[in-house]
Amino acid sequence: MKPKEIKNYIKEITPNNEDIPNYFIKKVMESKKSFELKTLDIESILNMDDCLKQYVLSGDIRYDEYSEHEPHEEDLKQPIIIFNNEVIDGYSRLSEHFRRGEIKINAFVSI
């Protein structure tokens, strides 16, 4: 995928415009890097991104019984986005997969 396609993908899957990671979208657009869809080990992603690892291990749950954001299975199937070895979109999706004991996740990875 090209940077513009990643930008559109992020905007399409993000229900609240305030949650769009505009800083990272700008970096993606400036880099002109392409993205490839891959299936990755969740553990390896956590080991390369300390901020994500802290979030996942903190136990913070976006999808709980009191949340307006319920974990719809279709939403959870959306690939996360990894740019320069950093997850720029998909913290909550990856965290939910981790809590469920899953070991792999799909990701668009910058190349």
Summarize pLDDT for 34-77 with one digit per residue, the tens: 999 999 999 999 999 999 999 999 977 665 444 555 567 888 89
This prediction has a pTM of: 0.85
- CB proximity list for 84: less than 8 A, separation 6 or greater: 31, 110
Tell me the two tokens of residue 89. 């979109």
> Which three-class secondary structure state does DSSP give residue 37?
strand
